[in-house]
Amino acid sequence: MRAYRAKCPNRFLEGYYRCPKYDLTMRIVVAKPGLDGHDRGAKVIARALRDGGHEVIYTGLRRTPDEIVRIVIDEDAGALGLSSLSGAHSVLIPKVCEGLRESEMNNVIVFAGGIIPEHDRQSLYDVGVRAIFGPGTTSTEILEFLTTIEKRSESEEPVGVGEEAGWHW
């Protein structure tokens, strides 16, 4: 896999994040890892992100972690939203995060949504997931998360999957 290279001097990807210097928007991949066949929530989030001014690529159902990493690389995405309703989040999401780090995609912001119990969340935060949105989350809250990410990036605070762990939404 090819290495990830940030093109904008303030750690935003040129053409994909809302970068104050270039007035750009974020490019976000929304993916459904594993055999989960329920994608209504992922489609609703993809549309809300698009309506919020972002460019969104929806991968469709039943993607492997390797396929998701490849799509993020090929699309030069700055963020990845993972939707999990099947209970396989504790296996699949860490594999995606590991794949991103191995591919030197450390600046990619990873967030998750779906049915993810409270007792499973800390382990996902520990592998680099920056936010987990459950049922009932409003699209406004997700867009506020992305605004917070923008502010943290401008002040050079860690936000990517391969950057310093600790902070999460």
Residue 43 is given by DSSP the state H
> With 70 as the cut, is the pLDDT of residue 40 above it?
yes
- Residue 37 domain-assigned (yes or no): yes
- Residue 1 domain-assigned (yes or no): no
- Count up the domains in the chain and report the number: 1
Residue 78 is given by DSSP the state S
CATH of the domain at 61: 3.40.50.280
Strand order in the sheet with 27-31: 55-58, 27-31, 79-84, 109-114, 129-133
| Amino acid occupying residue 31 | A
CA 101/CA 123 separation, integer angstroms: 16
Show the domain range for 102.
27-154
CA 158/CA 130 separation, integer angstroms: 10
- Residue 114 domain-assigned (yes or no): yes
| Amino acid occupying residue 41 | G
- Residue 126 domain-assigned (yes or no): yes
- Residue 71 domain-assigned (yes or no): yes
pTM: 0.86
Tens-place pLDDT, residues 56-111: 999 999 999 999 999 999 999 999 999 999 889 999 999 999 999 999 999 999 99
- Residue 16 domain-assigned (yes or no): no
- Residue 167 domain-assigned (yes or no): no
φ, ψ of residue 42 to 5 degrees: the values are -65, -40
Q: What is the pLDDT of residue 37?
A: 87
